[in-house]
Structure 1
Amino acid sequence: MPTFSHFCRRLLALLVVSLFAAGAAHAQPTGKAAKGRKRYTFAQKDAVSPYVQNVTKNTDEEQDVDGSFTRLGYRSYTDLLTEVEALRKLKDWADTTYQRRVAAIPPGGVLLVTVHRQGPKGVELSNLTLTVTDKDGKEVLAQTLAPGGGRFMGRDLYQGQRLLPFPKMEPQELTVSIRDAKLYQTFDYILTLPKAQ
């Protein structure tokens, strides 16, 4: 026959187990973050960068709901060189200035990561990890973004941007994932590297 002390030990054990379960449930992401981001049936071309297609739904409407807009852009070496040449004509640079600007262009172009988040602390770029893989699943580039904040852009939304030099590669289709450690969300893209012109 169970005694009072036996009953108390069982009750205490039950309380401890329920506290651990409640703590574990509290540590898990909730709401939209727990479900993950919706994905398109077919990848959608990005409105700004012709080399990028969005796999994960990433619209201005979703930004209004949870402030988690993330955009990937790519500019090829040729695009950057064309821009520097146009600036040279516009600003009448000396040859040394022009040569210095051309030498500073990364041979593989650049990736531009743009995020909109709610609150000034939400834009901490070091929460983002960018991973690029080829069609065989081999990792080409993996980088945690350098720390930095953003600027206010209205309605408690802040924008942060980071340019990342990209390695020179043959024309191919790559998969890019940007993982936000704070939101527990991953934003996926397809990057099509152009042929050198």
Structure 2
Amino acid sequence: MPTFPRLVRNLLAVGVLSVLAGTAMAQPTGKAAKGRPRYTFAQKDAVSPYVKNVTKNTDEDQEVDGSFTRVGYRSYNDMLTEVEALRKLKDWADTTYQRRLAAIPPGGTLVVTIHRQGPQNTELSNLTLTVTAKDGKEVFAQTLAPGTGRFFGRDLYQAQRAIPFPKMDAQELNVSIRDAKLYQTFDYILALPVAQ
């Protein structure tokens, strides 16, 4: 009879060790384990005037580990100006103009662009976008719809997605993109312009 408690104790010990070994193997390694380096002061984005980069995310990163991720923002007014210019340039019919005008989201759009190594890594459903206010309250969250990228150059592939953004008052928001495959989070500050 004394062997039964010993057997149970040994089985429990083996179970605990296997669980601990499994969690140790699932932990991210390399740059992902250390986290992305951050700027001391948020840097203005070269493409979008409304966005500032908090985490270091440069063109050199895409050459090293294929982890380039960029968020851009296009306001309603910017998109309206573009449609007006295209109407004059292309001499659209009124129905085409009305259709284009109706397609503009009232809050503008967030444009997510990623460069990854290999076509299987550009799966957009690996990305979760979360927007929070300065007080930490979640304003908007979305896991991107599935979609793959196209060849960008060398071994890099690019994927891009435009996400309609809800209409909000002018304010600064924190934007985080979590890549489930890379185990990395990319942080940005979005300064929403005054709506007209």
- What's the TM-score, normalizing by structure 1? 0.90
- Count of residues in Structure 1 that have an aligned counterpart in Structure 2: 191
Q: Which runs of 5+ in 1 are unaligned?
A: 1-5
Cα distance in 2 for partners of 1:24, 1:181 equals 16
The CA deviation at 1:156 is 1.1
Between 74-83 and 57-66, the greater mean CA deviation after superposition: 57-66
Could you tell me which amino acid in structure 1 is paired with residue 120 of structure 2?
Answer: K
SS state at 2:181 partner:
coil
SS state at 1:24 partner:
helix
The CA deviation at 1:138 is 1.1
Distance verdict in 2 for CA 1:95–1:29, change over 3 Å: same
Could you tell me which amino acid in structure 2 is paired with residue 86 of structure 1?
Answer: A
- Tell me the percent identity: 80
* 2:99 alignment partner in structure 1: 100
RMSD, matched Cα: 1.9
1:102-152 alpha-carbon deviations (Å, 9 max, x no partner): 111000000000000111110000000000011111111000000000001
* 2:172 alignment partner in structure 1: 173
Cα distance in 2 for partners of 1:133, 1:15 equals 43
Cα distance in 2 for partners of 1:138, 1:21 equals 34
- Are 1:88 and 2:87 counterparts? yes
* 2:135 alignment partner in structure 1: 136
* 1:42 alignment partner in structure 2: 41
* 1:3 alignment partner in structure 2: none
Could you tell me which amino acid in structure 2 is paired with residue 162 of structure 1?
Answer: R
The CA deviation at 1:23 is 2.8
* 2:3 alignment partner in structure 1: none
- Are 1:121 and 2:120 counterparts? yes
1:77-114 alpha-carbon deviations (Å, 9 max, x no partner): 00000000111111110111111111110000000000
SS state at 1:167 partner:
coil
The CA deviation at 1:196 is 2.1
1:54-99 alpha-carbon deviations (Å, 9 max, x no partner): 0010001111111000000000000000000111111110111111
The CA deviation at 1:16 is 6.6
SS state at 2:195 partner:
coil
* 1:147 alignment partner in structure 2: 146
Cα distance in 1 for partners of 2:177, 2:98 equals 34
The CA deviation at 1:159 is 0.3
* 2:25 alignment partner in structure 1: 26
The CA deviation at 1:11 is 9.5
- What's the TM-score, normalizing by structure 2? 0.91
* 1:65 alignment partner in structure 2: 64
The CA deviation at 1:37 is 0.4
The CA deviation at 1:24 is 2.4
- Are 1:156 and 2:159 counterparts? no
- Are 1:53 and 2:52 counterparts? yes
The CA deviation at 1:15 is 7.0
